Amino acid sequence: MKNVNLLLSALIAISILSCKTSTKEPEKLKYALCIHGGAGTILKKNITPEREKEYYDKLDEALTVGDSVLKNGGSALDAVELTIHILENSPLFNAGKGAVFTHSGKNELDASIMWGKDLNAGAVAGVGDIKNPISAARKVMENSEHVMLSGEGASLFASQQGLSIVDSSYFFTEKRWNYLQQILNKEREMTRTDRHGTVGCVALDKNGNLAAGTSTGGMTNKRFGRIGDSPVIGAGTYANNNTCAVSCTGHGEFFIRLGVAKDISALMEYQNLSLNEATDIVMDKLNNIDGSGGFVALDKFGNPAMKMNTSGMYRGYVNSKGVKEKYIYK
């Protein structure tokens, strides 16, 4: 009898131990980084092989920059800012140089950044002369007592901070201009998903800090000083070391209404869900209200989620194990 009891106790102990190991925390990567270059109607049949290669090359360049910052012990904030510079400086994406035009033929750019370590954040909205709006967002976060600055005030602040201010003609690209003209002349119907574009980056650094950043030209033909989700902390951007970092792209009004980025983090924080579960729930909510777009996110272990309900999203992922992936289509 004594032996049977001993055997039973041993079996119970083993099963408790094995339970423990099966619920143990996932392996934490030393670092990881995810990017996006906008979601929308992106179909292989509409892109030439040359143009497709240009996109893949630029995504690769951005991932390489982010990877080297993190590999060398740089912060997730530096990685996000410098990676986004590559995308902002390219005419391929709707951010910085490649920003779309408003109804009145101007470029009005928005950006935001958030530091998951202390929930500090900064943003600029409706700016027309700051070369790299993501850097202005970071300056707002680090060197002002505010979270969001807009228009001329944001430009004045950025110039006082020593950032590069450009003539508005810097943002002129023929492709974006022609697109606006086609819409104004009603030669092209503006569908829900083909006026999108934005760039974003989320990163986990070697110190376990998460950061997220988003930069955009907004939506073609926007009017009346419209601001989308990209500079809105909690809508287009969010980072919290305890949960995840998120950067969104898509029809901003819907992302603001749902508070997409913060909702993903809140589901993880309050309901103990995984990043995958939380992003699935929020994607369902977006679908329910017909909000088109997507997001990239990283959890605190460096696991990525890159999801969209459009036909494509320029996106990529790199991590400390040497994994590097780039995708365009769904």
Q: Which of residues 123-182 bind ligand ASP (CB under 6 A)?
A: none
Say if residues 291 and 265 touch (Cβ distance below 8 Å).
no
The two three-digit tokens of residue 189, written as one number: 């119907």
Query: How many residues at the interface with ligand ASP, by CB under 6 A?
Result: 15
Say if residues 148 and 140 touch (Cβ distance below 8 Å).
yes
Say if residues 33 and 203 touch (Cβ distance below 8 Å).
yes
* Beta-strand pair 148-150/120-127: parallel
Distance in Å, CB of 329 to ligand ASP, minimum: 17
Read off the DSSP letter of residue 30: S
Measured CA angle at 292 (ends 136, 46), to 5 deg: 95
Q: Is 304 one of the binding residues for ligand ASP (CB under 6 A)?
A: no
Distance in Å, CB of 210 to ligand ASP, minimum: 21
198 is catalytic: yes
Q: Which of residues 171-210 bind ligand ASP (CB under 6 A)?
A: 196-198
The two three-digit tokens of residue 61, written as one number: 């360049």
Q: Is 316 one of the binding residues for ligand ASP (CB under 6 A)?
A: no
Q: Is 250 one of the binding residues for ligand ASP (CB under 6 A)?
A: yes
Nearer to ligand ASP, 128 or 197 (CB): 197
Contact track, ligand ASP, 17-46, x by CB under 6 A: ---------------------x--------
- Sort 301 into a burial class: Cβ within 10 Å, 0-12 / 13-18 / 19+: middle
SS3 158: helix
Catalytic one of 198, 220, 237, 279: 198
Nearer to ligand ASP, 67 or 229 (CB): 229
Q: Is 268 one of the binding residues for ligand ASP (CB under 6 A)?
A: no
User: For residue 228, how many C-alpha atoms fall within 13 Å in the half-sphere facing its CB?
Assistant: 33
Contact track, ligand ASP, 97-126, x by CB under 6 A: ------------------------------
Q: Name the segment binding ligand ASP (CB under 6 A); options: 50-58, 160-168, 171-179, 223-231.
A: 223-231
- Which residues have CB under 8 Å from 225's CB, separation 6+? 108, 126, 151
Q: Is 229 one of the binding residues for ligand ASP (CB under 6 A)?
A: yes
Say if residues 267 and 296 touch (Cβ distance below 8 Å).
no
Nearer to ligand ASP, 116 or 231 (CB): 231
Sheet holding 148-150, edge to edge: 148-150, 120-127, 109-115, 210-216, 199-204, 32-40, 312-319, 324-329
**Residues assigned a catalytic role:** 198
Binding site for ligand ASP (CB under 6 A): 38, 196-198, 216, 218-219, 228-230, 236, 249-252
